[in-house]
Amino acid sequence: MIAIIDYDAGNIKSVEKALVLLGQEVKITRDPKEILSAQKVVLPGVGAFGDAMEKLNQYELVPVIRQVVERNIPFLGICLGLQLLFERSDEAPGVEGLGVLKGEILRIPDGEGLKIPHMGWNSLHLENGGRLFVGLEEGAYVYFVHSYYLKASEPEIVKASTEYSTHIHASVEKGNVFACQFHPEKSSDVGLQILKNFVSI
């Protein structure tokens, strides 16, 4: 069973639908026992960093997520779910992230003729042999919606990056922790392949 952590964040249903399409048994839950007994755990998310951390604390999910990581259960953060794994965000000064990974979330700088948020399809530069990207070609296109981006402190955990006004760390992997800034569940066949790769880990 794959547990999708329910903390009132958007896009949970589309993640569930994509995983069900891949033949997976999926449960949307905030029950610690269910999350910790799952074979895999997904932290989706659309919204603001500060609000999301407030909800994770309110539902007492922060220690549960840390236990998932410690127990080596494969864990996937999507969009805001990637950002929450890090230490801090420009979007919510003074709010501590989960701190599972080292790095910070910065606002995408205004670029000439570029709209913020970064919304739409963009190509990935694949690096450091990420397990989520097995079977995918360099330059594969995926779907983004975000105004803030990751700058990871450990270059070796970055498995995909993209360019939009700045250099964006688009996907990371460290041990059992995986995360994507883009939405695999909205990224057509490429996204399904990424989710399939996660499911097969």
Residue 127 has pLDDT above 90, yes or no: yes
pLDDT tens track for 79-97:
999 999 999 999 999 999 9
**Which pLDDT score is estimated for 49?**
97
Residue 10 has pLDDT above 90, yes or no: no
- Residues marked active site are found at 79, 183, 185
- Per the structure, the complete domain to which residue 76 belongs is given by 2-199
Average pLDDT score over the chain: 97
The mean pLDDT of 23-38, rounded to a whole number, is 98
Burial label, 70 (beta-carbon count in 10 A; 0-12, 13-18, 19+) = exposed
Identify the CATH number of the domain in which residue 188 sits: 3.40.50.880
pLDDT tens track for 142-176:
999 999 999 999 999 999 999 999 999 999 999 99
The residues pairing with 76 across neighbouring beta strands, listed in sequence order, are: 42, 178
Q: Check residue 191 and give left, alpha or beta (phi > 0: left; psi -120 to 50: alpha).
A: alpha
Q: DSSP label at 126?
A: E
Residue 112 has pLDDT above 90, yes or no: no
The mean pLDDT of 110-124, rounded to a whole number, is 94
- Cα 25 to Cα 3: distance, rounded to the nearest angstrom: 9
Confidence of residue 11 (pLDDT cuts 50, 70, 90): confident
Number of structural domains, the chain?
Answer: 1
Q: Is the peptide bond before 117 cis (omega within 30 degrees of 0)?
A: yes
pLDDT tens track for 34-80:
999 999 999 999 899 999 999 999 999 999 999 999 999 999 999 99
Residue 9 has pLDDT above 90, yes or no: no
Closest CA to 158 of 166, 77, 150, 147: 150
Q: DSSP label at 48?
A: -
